[in-house]
Structure 1
């Protein structure tokens, strides 16, 4: 794991470049060992960037972080781990390494509830009712553990026996805000707290947009409750729109400062939130998701595939054609098992294999041919 930490600590190399390097060289350790000339073979890595990677080859910082991770009982989630939700990892801006505490379960995506820190009693009731409802419907609550709407959503979910994830903009050895230390403990007991920042990272305003990106990436739907004109919840909603998540906004008093942003979202096309039933997810593939282009995907067909086939098809539709190595990386499926599965899928006209490249067959065409 030390090489994963090392890769993410190289300044100037963000998630997109990290992914290109991983697609090309498969593991962070391989990247670490490559020569300047070999690094230059990777698309998007110029001479200055390759030279920077070579110069930052020391593992001292990464080893120190790893030691702190172990002392703090923090776990690491890499892009190759099957616990990393497919719809989240398909977003190229999402981190390749996530730190977490608690119990991160399979299929941990849910519905995010975000909004104003200084909310009204009305906003508090809406957030509390939504968190309680989602918990009773076995849908996970995702939020940022901030004061106000976030904390009410987490708390009501926990009280109803639900599972919740808090996304932080600092290291997991720090509780921010400090007065939420008991809430943080309860979230860890009933779900997980996650962050892309290593232990020791202090809260910083520049971290919160990235935190909001993670919240939207980990959500099927986003409910915005009482967001002011400059609320961070609006950044979450913007990312949600970018990644084709469904954004719901609570309508409120047009003269209220706390609702300027959420009312504006409605004016810009967000769905008006009027009932808790709007938060339901009919099935894991029926959503406005960045992972799947709804104009080309028949969800009924996805439901006919087994779990491994779904993961393969999702990646091919979201990312386009892939080599065997790239497909293995994105799906987390062992290469040998992948070859065997792809051979069967090709016979069933689910994929097309051309040389070393794998393509998805349009599900609608697949349906007609299988009939």
Structure 2
């Protein structure tokens, strides 16, 4: 495993060149021990890159990464692992190595659901119905664990006893956004979180397009809900289109800035999404016989302390995000993440900036 990590971390040698090296030398350890002349015989590996590979011939960094992964219960998926979906690894831009927490199952590819971080009530209804249906059909829900549509997709899938995968643009020992820590833990329990970045890698906007590539590669179909004109969801859709994935977009108000991107996708040839049966695919994941879900209803006695405080406030009547934020001493962004999960658990209803008991 050390040699796989080493190969994945060589500067100036991206996934395409890594694959060419593997085609020539078969295994990463043989690449590590190859001579300068042998390296230069590989396509796209000139003298400068070959010298760089030789100069980085040390396993110290790889050992540190592996130790950090082991200490955080992070597993490693390499290109030769059968759990790496064939249709995903056929894309030459895909990483030769991925880190994951949770459980990867056979046939883990599914349907990606992506969209706006500021989703409307309409968007929430659509994503909830879609993710619930996919869960009931044993189809993986793939998304990016961002605020808004992503978070609702994962949570709805989990609530329906489904399997979900979140692809992150940072190390898996870091939760981003931070307010989704509870959601991340639930995803690990009911699916997996995946990243190409080693432990300790902080979130960075330049990593998100690569994250979006992996989301698209892990999906047979991509459903876009309420994407703005510059939404990262459009990057995911474009990657998917380039690699033969089916793109579906939810139609919405033509005057809404939050839906301009998804409406444009339809205008440019994406399939218009009108009913959940459009999401069906042939390949499904296999449900583990010993998989257990807590089907007991939610009662006030299994609320955490923050939920109890929020519920107590709302028993007096509807309140605004700002008012609740002050009363529970939490910033509104972190509070909104918590309320999103509470809403999908049927505890509260969030309408714009107003919150009330369900």
Q: Following the alignment from structure 1 to structure 2, what is the Cα–Cα distance between the partners of residues 34 and 3?
A: 13
How many angstroms does 1:8 deviate by?
A: 0.8
Equivalent in the alignment of 2:314: none
Where do 5+ consecutive residues of structure 2 fail to align?
285-358
Q: Following the alignment from structure 1 to structure 2, what is the Cα–Cα distance between the partners of residues 153 and 36?
A: 49
How many angstroms does 1:261 deviate by?
A: 0.3
Equivalent in the alignment of 1:255: 255
SS of the residue corresponding to residue 208 of structure 2 reads: helix
How many angstroms does 1:44 deviate by?
A: 1.1
Q: Following the alignment from structure 1 to structure 2, what is the Cα–Cα distance between the partners of residues 280 and 59?
A: 45
Q: Could you tell me whether the CA contact under 8 Å between 2:141 and 2:154 is conserved in 1?
A: yes
Q: Could you tell me whether the CA contact under 8 Å between 2:107 and 2:283 is conserved in 1?
A: no
Q: Could you tell me whether the CA contact under 8 Å between 2:117 and 2:147 is conserved in 1?
A: yes
How many angstroms does 1:41 deviate by?
A: 1.1
Q: 5 Å matches for 1:134-173?
A: 134-173=134-173
Q: Following the alignment from structure 1 to structure 2, what is the Cα–Cα distance between the partners of residues 198 and 106?
A: 23
Equivalent in the alignment of 2:34: 34
After superposition, the C-alpha distances for 1:38-76 in whole angstroms (9 at most, x for unaligned) are 101111111100000000111111111111011001000
RMSD: 0.7
SS of the residue corresponding to residue 138 of structure 2 reads: coil
Equivalent in the alignment of 2:128: 128
Equivalent in the alignment of 1:14: 14
Would you say how many aligned residue pairs link Structure 1 and Structure 2? Answer: 284
Q: Following the alignment from structure 2 to structure 1, what is the Cα–Cα distance between the partners of residues 160 and 104?
A: 19
Q: 5 Å matches for 1:155-234?
A: 155-234=155-234
Q: Following the alignment from structure 1 to structure 2, what is the Cα–Cα distance between the partners of residues 106 and 81?
A: 11
Q: Does residue 103 of structure 2 align to residue 103 of structure 1?
A: yes
Equivalent in the alignment of 2:52: 52
How many angstroms does 1:35 deviate by?
A: 0.5
How many angstroms does 1:98 deviate by?
A: 0.2
How many angstroms does 1:5 deviate by?
A: 0.7
Alignment CA distance shift 1:17-1:259 (3 Å): same
Q: Following the alignment from structure 1 to structure 2, what is the Cα–Cα distance between the partners of residues 157 and 198?
A: 27
Q: Following the alignment from structure 1 to structure 2, what is the Cα–Cα distance between the partners of residues 5 and 71?
A: 16
How many angstroms does 1:254 deviate by?
A: 0.7
Q: 5 Å matches for 1:221-370?
A: 221-283=221-283
Q: Does residue 61 of structure 2 align to residue 61 of structure 1?
A: yes
How many angstroms does 1:106 deviate by?
A: 1.0
How many angstroms does 1:282 deviate by?
A: 3.6
SS of the residue corresponding to residue 227 of structure 2 reads: coil
Equivalent in the alignment of 2:349: none
Give the TM-score of the pair, scaled to structure 2: 0.79
Q: Does residue 85 of structure 2 align to residue 85 of structure 1?
A: yes
SS of the residue corresponding to residue 76 of structure 1 reads: strand
Q: Could you tell me whether the CA contact under 8 Å between 2:131 and 2:153 is conserved in 1?
A: yes
